Amino acid sequence: DRDALERLAAEIDRDATVVALTGAGISAPSGVPTFRGEDGVWEHFDEGQFTYGRFRSDPEGFWADRVALQRELFGEEYEPNAAHEALAAMGRDGYLDAVLTQNTDGLHRDAADGADGGDGANGAAEDGKREDDPGAGDDTPAGTGEPPILELHGNARRVRCTDCGRRRDGDPIFDRAAEGDLPPTCDCGGIYKPDVVLFGEQLPGAVVQRARTLTRDSDVFLAIGSSLVVEPAASFPREAGATGATVGVVNLESTPVDGAADVVYRDDVTEALPRLRSLLERGADGG
Ligand code: APR
């Protein structure tokens, strides 16, 4: 109901610490498929083929399957949608303090960079730019004062060498793999891995720690477009609630967190977030 969103908006002002956690549902309107729910990717692909264990033991088979998954997920051109744009605008206007995302598509960064400011590479680093960068996954533009975007599961537009740690744009590497260069290797001889967190692989510790701190410090915590079943992100809304935050869930389907949330708003993100933003603007105008 509309009321739910108004209750949420009433909790948000420029003094409140507001943190958003997003999942595949926010990118679905951009044409990126979700993992679960209707026609989710895990209905067509076997999750068990994309584990860290398989990457280690059978990098060739892993990469062959990953090329197909990559095509399914990111084969079409995609751009930020009204929901990404609304969050980016809330950030610029001082209503949002951080985005924690489980998505690896780079669309929050694209939206924050603006329609013409971005390089269209969906957050992919230029060749070698992030080499040895311990902050990879913490996609915060330096010195802009804009809210950080923490990529909890990495960025699928990049690859990383498992030996020398070099990161680079994934497109040419995925092309090589698609042409049968399996597994693709770095100049140093090391095997490339998509720069994402695989099942069974540890999340980047510094990023998770920062995300947890933001979660616990939040006054308002919004879970947006996520089924909230994959840890550790699935626990963040409860952690936020336990430390006093107002917890809102915006999602098409019910989630395991709904019962513990203060506000549940069941709607398409491209409806809900622009509406939330306009409620905030109206509030700021004193009307
Ligand atoms: N508006 C709002 N919600 C939507 C929309 C939409 N337009 N489209 C889909 N949803 C909801 C679905 O109802 C579903 O509950 O988004 C949710 C997406 O859930 P998942 O596909 O499970 O995505 P996510 O929660 O991000 O998955 C977590 O699992 O395998 C992985 O590593 C992958 O990061 C991913 C993690």
pLDDT digits (tens, 9 = 90+) for 200-243: 999 999 999 999 999 999 999 999 999 999 999 999 999 999 99
- Cβ atoms of 54 and 61 within 8 Å: the answer is yes
Complex ipTM, two decimals? 0.99
Segment of 2-6, 47-51, 135-139 carrying the highest mean pLDDT: 47-51
Average pLDDT on 30-57 reads: 95
Looking at ligand 1, which residue's alpha carbon is closest to its atom 26? 23
For the chain, the C-alpha Rg in angstroms (whole number) is 19
126: pLDDT strictly greater than 80: no
Looking at ligand 1, which residue's alpha carbon is closest to its atom 10? 25
Average pLDDT on 104-131 reads: 64
What pLDDT does residue 122 have? Answer: 54
Q: Is the CB of 192 under 6 A from ligand 1?
A: no
129: pLDDT strictly greater than 50: no
115: pLDDT strictly greater than 90: no
182 annotated as a binding-site residue: no
Confidence of residue 145 (pLDDT cuts 50, 70, 90): confident
Nearest to 35 by CA among 138, 111, 104: 104
Which ligand 1 atom sits nearest the alpha carbon of residue 253?
13
Any idea how long the chain is?
Answer: 287
- Cβ atoms of 153 and 103 within 8 Å: the answer is yes
For the chain, which domains are there?
Answer: 2-47+79-159+200-284 (3.40.50.1220)
With 0-12 / 13-18 / 19 or more C-beta atoms within 10 angstroms meaning exposed / middle / buried, residue 36 is middle
Q: E strands of 138-250, at which residues? A: 149-151, 154-161, 167-169, 192-196, 220-224, 246-250
Confidence of residue 2 (pLDDT cuts 50, 70, 90): confident
Q: Hey, what amino acid is at 259?
A: G
